[in-house]
């Protein structure tokens, strides 16, 4: 009996202690190095704060603008992340072909959750996606990324009606109404369209906080940050709001 207990103890030690030690070793290595080259473990995700993740994306966009992007070695990233995902941030951005989140923030496989919808609005399904990303999968930053010359924002300014697009543009209409402009309030007025785009990002950030109790509480606890930003399609530069 004593021998059997000892044997079980040895088995448990063999089975559980070695992976635990490996995880501790990984966490220590990650803490020493800061961000992981590949976002392939919970230790990588746990080692950084929401503010550090924000700085990471700011620096990524600076690399993108300057042309000094890192070599992401996608094949290696695919292999390293195949067993699970531990992304740092979620980005809600427009479907616009000029604004791919991973590219403009110089990120690779396994780094970002990416929700793309015309006009970077939120509905219940996108809120559910963001809740999964942060409350289940541990993502520490939500970025709502609008952009200049946005077709959806222009459509909302012109009150376009077209199939299912009509109900989507209705979500941008409050931003159109909120901007004071006594002159041309159509898509032909570039300055007006850009003001509406910014207001629409601010409205989306507000809706996330108002409509998702889980994300609001996570932000209030300091485990999550929610930021608005605007991408300039002429320069590639991201400007951060609030
Ligand atoms: Zn757009």
Give tens-digit pLDDT for 218-232: 999 999 999 999 999
Which range marks the domain in which residue 22 is found?
1-33
Q: Which residues pair with 114 in a beta bridge?
A: 91
Same domain (yes/no): 130, 208: yes
Which pLDDT band holds residue 29 (cuts at 50, 70, 90)?
Answer: low
How far does the centroid of ligand 1 lie from the alpha carbon of residue 153, in Å? Answer: 7
Q: Return the residue matching tokens 């020493």.
A: 32
Region of 138 (left: φ > 0; alpha: ψ -120 to 50; beta: rest) is left
Total structural domains in the chain? 2
How far does the centroid of ligand 1 lie from the alpha carbon of residue 143, in Å? Answer: 15
Predicted confidence at residue 231, as pLDDT, reads: 98
Task: Say whether 189 sits in a helix, a strand or coil.
Answer: coil
pLDDT score of 1 more than 60: no
How far does the centroid of ligand 1 lie from the alpha carbon of residue 116, in Å? Answer: 10
Task: Give percent of the chain with pLDDT exceeding 70.
Answer: 86
How far does the centroid of ligand 1 lie from the alpha carbon of residue 145, in Å? Answer: 10
Same domain (yes/no): 58, 28: no
Give the global pTM: 0.87
Same domain (yes/no): 163, 45: yes
Predicted confidence at residue 203, as pLDDT, reads: 98
Predicted confidence at residue 200, as pLDDT, reads: 98
Average pLDDT score over residue span 149-172: 98
Predicted confidence at residue 34, as pLDDT, reads: 78
How far does the centroid of ligand 1 lie from the alpha carbon of residue 182, in Å? Answer: 24
Predicted confidence at residue 242, as pLDDT, reads: 76
């Amino acid at each position: 009996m004593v021998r059997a207990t000892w044997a079980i103890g040895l088995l448990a030690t063999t089975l559980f202690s070695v992976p635990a030690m490996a995880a501790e070793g990984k966490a220590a290595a990650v803490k020493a190095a800061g961000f992981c080259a590949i976002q392939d473990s919970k230790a990588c995700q746990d080692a950084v704060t929401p503010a550090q993740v924000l700085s990471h994306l700011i620096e990524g966009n600076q690399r993108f603008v300057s042309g000094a992007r890192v070599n992401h070695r996608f094949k290696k990233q695919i292999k390293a992340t195949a067993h699970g995902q531990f992304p740092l941030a979620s980005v809600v951005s427009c479907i616009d072909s000029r604004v791919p989140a991973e590219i403009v923030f110089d990120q690779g496989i396994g780094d970002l959750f990416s929700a793309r919808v015309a006009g970077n609005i939120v509905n219940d399904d996108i809120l559910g996606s963001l809740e999964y990303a942060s409350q289940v999968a541990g993502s520490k930053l939500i970025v709502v990324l609008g952009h200049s010359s946005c077709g959806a924002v222009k459509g909302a300014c012109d009150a376009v009606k077209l199939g299912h697009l009509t109900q989507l543009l209705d979500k941008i209409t409050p931003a159109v109404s909120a901007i004071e402009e006594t002159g041309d309030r159509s898509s032909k007025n570039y300055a007006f369209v850009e003001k509406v785009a910014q207001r629409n990002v601010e409205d989306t950030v507000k809706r996330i906080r108002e409509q998702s109790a889980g994300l609001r509480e996570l932000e209030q606890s300091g485990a999550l940050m929610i930021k608005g930003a605007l991408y300039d399609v002429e320069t590639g530069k991201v400007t951060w709001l609030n």
